[in-house]
Amino acid sequence: MNGTNVSNTILERLAGELSVLTPEARKAATYVLENPRDVGVSTVREIAEAANVKPNTVVRMARQVGFDGYEDFRAPFRDAIRRGAADFPDRARWLQDIRKSGDLGGLYADMVQATLRNIEETFAGISADDLKCAAETIWNSENVFTLGVGVNNSSARNFTYLASTGMVRFHAIPKAGSNAIDDLAWADGKDVLIAITCRPYRAEVVEAVNRAKAQGMRVVAISDSPASPIIRLADHGFVITCDTPQFFPSSVTTVALLETLLSFVISVASDEIVERVETFHKRRHQLGMYHEDNT
């Protein structure tokens, strides 16, 4: 999950309780879902302050998901951090060397560390079975619409482009001069929407997911928190970590997850897909689309 390798069970249970929590307890739960690493290193008072609630609210939240209190709730988060810190001693030394390499060494090390951590934490929270189920839903659909706006638009279009080398009826939306709602106007229960948005969540993506569900579509959602509005509506939800020292969100895990998902789609597809991909690239070579160095 986002920020720690703690078992999905606790965070999924907490996400499932969001709708029945009091408004204050929901604030505490949402903070935990979005910042699970903080739980392992923070006291109940610190979590309460960060979530802008009272400490007793945090304790009640922990009890809501089956723990005796905050310390009991906190224990698996602390264990996960300890395990993660001990796993990569050589990497730690490498990052320290980078920091000493010059004026920008610290920035370089921070970016590398964030990228590696994002990848590890994202895939630690996703199982092969989760990806297989989503891939089968995609393969068995009539049409697949991939929606990303802003920084996620290029990721959605790249996924669609790669898929089109062996499959048809993949559509990146919104199309030029259109909007996602119109692009989904005739979609129905035979179709799938892959939607991507991270905090601050784009309203048009959330609205499109709501419309897709109303039209009977199945939704594969990619976002940065179990509390994300599109994750909570999804048939298949994938939580990514996209932290970065810079002001812009990282797209590394989004691209990595989409590439992995596409590889699963190809794996569950019929045998003809491999032949179609080979034919697609053979045609490109025949048309001279690739540079040939004959010197």
Domain limits, the chain? 8-85, 90-124, 128-285
Between the CA atoms of 73, 75, 78 and 79, what dihedral angle is there, to the nearest 10 degrees? -130
- CA-based angle 204:123:208, to the nearest 5? 15
274: CB partners within 8 A, 6+ apart = 166, 266
Q: What is the CATH number of domain 8-85?
A: 1.10.10.10
In Å, how far are 12, 55, 60, 139, 239 from 127, measured between CA atoms? 14, 34, 30, 19, 12
Q: Rounded CA gap, 34 and 27, in Å?
A: 11
For residue 55, CA distances in Å to 30, 47, 58 come to: 15, 8, 5
Taking the chain (295 residues) in runs of 10, the rounded mean pLDDT of each run is 54 87 91 85 91 94 90 83 49 63 76 89 94 97 97 96 90 96 98 96 97 98 96 97 84 97 91 78 84 67
Residue with tokens 């390798």: 5
What is the model's pLDDT at position 1? Answer: 43
Give the HSE-up count for residue 289: Cα atoms under 13 Å, Cβ half-sphere: 8
User: Are the C-beta atoms of 35 and 60 separated by less than 8 Å?
Assistant: no
What pLDDT score was predicted for residue 92? Answer: 56
Q: Where are the alpha helices (DSSP H) in the chain?
A: 8-17, 23-34, 36-41, 44-51, 55-64, 70-86, 89-99, 105-124, 128-139, 153-163, 180-183, 203-214, 229-233, 252-268, 272-286
pLDDT of residue 88: 42
The CATH number that domain 128-285 falls under is 3.40.50.10490
pLDDT number for residue 3: 43
Output the six-digit token pair for 123: 């895939």
Residue 196 forms beta bridges with which residues? 148, 222
